[in-house]
Chain A
Amino acid sequence: MMRIKTPKKGRIKRELEKRAPKLVETGKKTLILHGTKTSSILNSLLTEIYHLKKNDSVKYSRKNDNIRPFESGGETSLEFYSLKTDCSLFVYGSHSKKRPNNLVLGRTYDHHIYDLVEVGVENFRSMGSFLYDKKLAPRIGSKPFFAFIGEAFESVDELKHLKEILLDLFRGEVVTNLNLAGLDRVYVCTALSSSKIFFSHCALRLKKSGTVVPRMELVEVGPSMDMVVRRHRHPDESLRKESMKTAPELLKKKEKNVVKDAIQGKIGKIYIPDQKVGSVPLANKAKGVKRERREAKMKGEGYKHTQKKQKQDAE
């Protein structure tokens, strides 16, 4: 015996519907947490990342000693938190002698670990250490520009992976309409070597230029650091294929046999199959023959054959 359980309150129903899988996805949420030991650098870095993504991130303040993303058993806690907070991106910071200032950026698919990149932070400069005109400060939630510099981002596997994850982490919602007045931040990533990148967050200043396009000026604002890629884990092939699927309804269909012209408007082509003149079955043939036969019988047998033939010719 089964019974149907539905939430009694509308608020809960709306929350559940927000968390349900959708055809076109809205922005991903980020979970920021740290492990047993963190350094002061990591602490400030985690809070700054949280401030950069205030709207769609959750920061946990307690230490989590049972989370080890790269070990097989150490991911269960992460997956549980991802399920409870509905976050599909996470940033996990930890500090140890072997891996100082360690940051693990990861993604989940269906609340299971999809892929991970472990990065060491060096030469960190926090937001407060930059001096600039406060009017330029980027607003929370504005859509950022991305600038990736360096051939290593294409040739080195790890940097390619890191580029994808950084894009996913900071991009925010995918929008169709953008207000050009609200563009005020850039994330600049420069590849210094095959395992090290320089990451910086800058504010944009739009200056008047002669044309429609304003001149861009970058002012370093936010946290800047060097990221050294330590370990990384690629997603499972089957999982990757499943996650990259798009809904079939969203694919555009080609409209065939329709031509749109400026002068004539919309013209369509219709193809008519050939008429089969000879092989069309004639419906009343039998009836005509019957009647003819009757008439011929009444008139006499001499007329029968000729009259019949005439009728057929006429048809």
Chain B
Amino acid sequence: MAEPQYEIDLGNLMAFNPHHHFVSPPSSREEVVKEAIEQGTKLVQAVADALFHLPSTEDPDGPIVGLPAPTTKLPREKPLPKPRPPTKWELFAQKKGIKKCKKEKLVFDEQTGTWKRRHGYDRVNDDNDIPIIEAKSTDEPGKDPFAERRKEKKSKVEKQEKNRLQNLKQAAKVGALPSHVQLAATALPISGTQAMPKKVSKDELQNVAGMAATATASGGKFDKKLPGEKASKHEKKYRKFLPAVEGSGMGALEKQQTEKVLNKLISRNSHEILNVEKAVNMYNVKKEKKQRRQGRESSTSSKLKPNKKSLKKTLKKGSSNKGKSK
């Protein structure tokens, strides 16, 4: 029998019966359905019991109940919003202790003796309404004070826009840009993407200049060099050929070339890893060293000396990987 311990999540209006299982495999579909409905009724009754016992307020539509928060945690659909970093003004105001005060929409205008609105049409202290500006002793005769005022206002507006952009850039750096604002680059770099143009180093510039120079039909050979421009680091020739006519002292070049090639071929295909000359040299060197040491330590008897075996691997015929890996 199902124990009446159901897991109830009131916030989601959910009930879960973890103890029920079909005792016998159900014979027909109707039985399954009936069983399911029966169990469902019991579960829903349990939830409703808990629900109707919550404190409710009366409403013309029906009793309204305050649901608790759901207990089953479900994942969010979007990441948590990051808090906006304080703007430059907000930081300054915090430091100085300046508090925001609510401003009234209507302000009493002394000049006309009426109540005018603070912003908008027919506002208090409108800049354009001033009929006469009295000249100060510091003023030059040619300057237009009205134009001056307009220029000042324009510069203030521009400064404010710049500050606003800086604040938004700071927010964008943290990732807390307001949802309706987008920062767009006005001048796109040559590559056409919105990425910041990378600062090019001196070497890179030289490389690029060299590449541009060689892009001409004659490979940049006849271009006039600017004062201070160094010659290109890469020589123009990419292939080396042996001289056609060999002088008396140069007869060995061709021999050397062919010898080198032959050696490489032979060593690749031969299974003899042992380089006889090298082995003989090594043996001779070892022997000499030993003799020198014996000469120095002639006082001690040779029987007590430890048998020094070299830690280097001796070359073995055939079984090492050197020849086969190629």
Interface residue total, chain B, C-beta cutoff 8 A: 65
A148 & B16 in contact (Cβ 8 Å cutoff): yes
A150 & B76 in contact (Cβ 8 Å cutoff): no
- Using known A-B contacts A13-B180, A190-B32, A200-B33, determine if residue A147 contacts B169 with beta carbons closer than 8 Å: no
Partner of A153, one of B16, B32, B65, B187: B16
C-alpha spacing A214/B62, complex, angstroms: 14
Give min CB distance, B75 to chain A, whole Å: 4
A21 & B184 in contact (Cβ 8 Å cutoff): no
Q: How large is the interface on A (under 10, 10 to 19, 20 to 34, 35 or more residues)?
A: 35 or more
B74 & A220 in contact (Cβ 8 Å cutoff): no
Residues on the A chain within 8 Å of B67, using CB:
175-178
Q: For residues 130 through 180 of chain A, which have their beta carbon under 8 Å from a beta carbon of chain B? A: 143-154, 163-164, 167-168, 171, 174-180
Residues on the B chain within 8 Å of A19, using CB:
179
A17 & B179 in contact (Cβ 8 Å cutoff): yes
A180 & B76 in contact (Cβ 8 Å cutoff): no
C-alpha spacing A171/B73, complex, angstroms: 13
- Using known A-B contacts A177-B65, A188-B36, A190-B39, determine if residue A2 contacts B14 with beta carbons closer than 8 Å: no
- Using known A-B contacts A178-B67, A217-B41, determine if residue A235 contacts B75 with beta carbons closer than 8 Å: yes
C-alpha spacing A168/B74, complex, angstroms: 7
A212 & B11 in contact (Cβ 8 Å cutoff): no
Q: Is B101 part of the binding interface, using a Cβ–Cβ cutoff of 8 Å?
A: no
Q: Is A182 part of the binding interface, using a Cβ–Cβ cutoff of 8 Å?
A: yes
Give min CB distance, B69 to chain A, whole Å: 8
Q: Is A269 part of the binding interface, using a Cβ–Cβ cutoff of 8 Å?
A: no
C-alpha spacing A224/B34, complex, angstroms: 13
Residues on the B chain within 8 Å of A216, using CB:
41, 44-45, 48
B180 & A180 in contact (Cβ 8 Å cutoff): no
Residues on the A chain within 8 Å of B64, using CB:
177-180
Residues on the B chain within 8 Å of A200, using CB:
33, 36-37, 40
C-alpha spacing A22/B76, complex, angstroms: 10
Give min CB distance, A63 to chain B, whole Å: 26
Q: Which residue of B lies closest to A21 (CB)?
A: B78
A220 & B37 in contact (Cβ 8 Å cutoff): yes
Partner of A5, one of B16, B63, B75, B181: B181
Q: Is B52 part of the binding interface, using a Cβ–Cβ cutoff of 8 Å?
A: yes
Residues on the A chain within 8 Å of B18, using CB:
150-151, 153-154
A25 & B76 in contact (Cβ 8 Å cutoff): yes
A–B complex contacts, Cβ < 8 Å, 30 sampled: A2-B184, A3-B186, A4-B168, A4-B181, A16-B179, A17-B180, A21-B81, A22-B81, A107-B75, A109-B75, A109-B76, A144-B13, A146-B13, A147-B39, A147-B43, A148-B14, A149-B40, A168-B74, A178-B64, A179-B61, A180-B56, A186-B40, A192-B32, A198-B32, A198-B33, A202-B37, A217-B41, A220-B33, A220-B37, A244-B76
Top 4 A-B pairs, shortest CB-CB distance? A181-B62, A20-B179, A88-B77, A243-B75
Spell out B's residues near A (CB within 8 Å): 11-22, 26, 29, 32-33, 35-37, 39-41, 43-45, 47-49, 51-53, 56, 59, 61-67, 69-70, 72-81, 164-165, 168-169, 179-187
